[in-house]
Amino acid sequence: MRVWNFSAGPSMLPLEVLEQAAAEMTDWHGTGMSIMEMSHRSKDYMGVRDEAEADLRALLSVPDDFAVLFVQGGAQGQNGLLPLNLIQRNGSGKADYVLSGSWSVKSCEEAQRYGDIRVAGTSGQSWQDQGKEWAPWTWFPEPSQWDVRPDAAYLHVCTNETIGGVEFNDIPKLDVPVVADVSSNILSCPIDFSRVSVAYAGAQKNAGMSGIALMMIRRDLLGHAMDLCPSAFNYANIEKQQSMFNTPPTYSIYMAGLMFKWLERQGGVAAMQARNAAKSEALYGFLDASEFYTNTVHPAYRSRMNVPFLLRDQSLDALFLEQATAAGLTSLKGHKSVGGMRASIYNAMPLEGVQALIDFMTDFERRNG
């Protein structure tokens, strides 16, 4: 039996993608072997890789002057690899970071090992807006307030804070290249590559399984790595070798490719954007109408992917989770740093799953409210 899996990542995959992978598991396209047994240099596997890249390019309309890389080390690995590759781009050794929650803070802390890092804007304090006080990390620092050094090698932002449930995609046009961690909202909406020069994402939420990070990087930013950057993590080397400088996680790339085909069949990123709006509006609408549950994120910055919510009576948390699991709704426990619940509703979660959650929550409130 399949459950509605609200895990933040690795997260639910479409059943038809899993069934295709299962059907191809022991004999991929009549080759008599699994994709995971195949040389990464074989013509068949190179075809799988090339198609995955072409499909990702098409889905996100990635311009030709951007390289598409499949890199290792996950998204957190890039927290160190990005400065190693970019911070000496213009010889300044400087990079600026916008802080909007746990993941951007982590990125910033790691980068400090490699250069002169400064905070360009932060939501780490409370903010008065719309006659209300918004707690730290429940809003996003407005671009007009960002203080970016003109000689910074790049400015880093996280467009979706998976833990706090804060999303911001309206990146301004800046002279300094913008590097965006899009791990938890990639392929859920378009990326404007005239404003974002590097976008990277762990694959395990909206693009298949863990093992790779997807990276779109403007080609002129390649080739500036510091001498101490490991060769296998030098983005220019990875690009030259078509993401095969060393043996890549071949199965993860294959799974990402199956997800890209599935996304195409759904109608692409525009269709997903509409579907994600409908899903998140249904859930936030329900939370806002309730006296029993609450979401504390500023309405302008609420994530369409990760919806944290609290039961006003937190003594009911354990019962809520136990009964939700029994009803086939799993992985709803919020991150330990914020408590409460979190429903991650990535591309693979249909409206039907969100409706099942709302129905359960309505019923739980009726019985315990």
- Please list the alpha-helical segments (H only) found in the chain: 15-23, 43-60, 74-86, 102-111, 235-240, 250-266, 268-289, 317-326, 351-368
Residue type, 36: M
Q: Is 165 one of the binding residues for ligand PMP (CB under 6 A)?
A: no
151 catalytic? Reply is: no
Count of CB atoms within 10 A of residue 70's CB?
24
Q: Is 76 one of the binding residues for ligand PMP (CB under 6 A)?
A: yes
The binding track of 179-198 with respect to ligand PMP, each residue x by CB under 6 A or -, is --x-xx--------------
175 catalytic? Reply is: no
Q: Is 162 one of the binding residues for ligand PMP (CB under 6 A)?
A: yes
Q: Tell me the Ramachandran region of residue 217: left when phi exceeds 0, alpha when psi lies from -120 to 50, beta otherwise.
A: beta
Q: How many CA atoms lie within 13 A of 157 on its CB side?
A: 29
- The number of residues in the chain equals 369
Taking the C-alpha atoms of residue 16 and residue 22, their distance in angstroms, rounded to an integer, is: 10
Segment contacting ligand PMP (CB under 6 A): 111-119, 178-186, 313-321, 338-346? 178-186
Q: CB 214 → ligand PMP: shortest distance, Å?
A: 11
94 catalytic? Reply is: no
Q: Does 246 show up as a binding residue in the annotation?
A: yes
Q: Exactly one of 202, 211, 249, 334 binds ligand PMP (CB under 6 A); which one?
A: 202
Q: Is 211 one of the binding residues for ligand PMP (CB under 6 A)?
A: no
Q: Exactly one of 157, 158, 198, 297 binds ligand PMP (CB under 6 A); which one?
A: 158
Q: Is 308 one of the binding residues for ligand PMP (CB under 6 A)?
A: no
Q: Is 233 one of the binding residues for ligand PMP (CB under 6 A)?
A: no
Count of CB atoms within 10 A of residue 100's CB?
27
Q: Does 296 show up as a binding residue in the annotation?
A: no
Q: Is 103 one of the binding residues for ligand PMP (CB under 6 A)?
A: yes
Q: Exactly one of 48, 69, 75, 338 binds ligand PMP (CB under 6 A); which one?
A: 75
Q: Are 234 and 225 in contact (CB under 8 A)?
A: yes
Count of CB atoms within 10 A of residue 30's CB?
5
Backbone φ and ψ for 353, nearest 5 degrees, come out as -70, -40
Structure-token pair, residue 126: 């409370």
Catalytic residue among 55, 134, 146, 205: 205
Q: Does 145 show up as a binding residue in the annotation?
A: no
DSSP letter at 246?
S
Q: Is 341 one of the binding residues for ligand PMP (CB under 6 A)?
A: no
Taking the C-alpha atoms of residue 123 and residue 116, their distance in angstroms, rounded to an integer, is: 21
Q: Exactly one of 55, 62, 66, 74 binds ligand PMP (CB under 6 A); which one?
A: 74
Of 99, 112, 208, nearest to 164 by C-alpha is 99
Q: Are 259 and 210 in contact (CB under 8 A)?
A: no
Segment contacting ligand PMP (CB under 6 A): 55-63, 72-80, 220-228, 259-267? 72-80
Q: Does 26 show up as a binding residue in the annotation?
A: no
Q: Does 192 show up as a binding residue in the annotation?
A: no
Binders of ligand PMP: how many residues, by CB under 6 A?
11
Q: CB 208 → ligand PMP: shortest distance, Å?
A: 12
Peptide bond into 10 cis (omega under 30): yes
Question: What residues act catalytically?
Answer: 103, 181, 205
Task: Pick out the residues of the known binding site.
Answer: 41, 103, 162, 181, 204, 246-247
The footprint of ligand PMP (CB under 6 A) covers: 9, 74-76, 103, 158, 162, 181, 183-184, 202
Annotated binding site for L-glutamate: 41
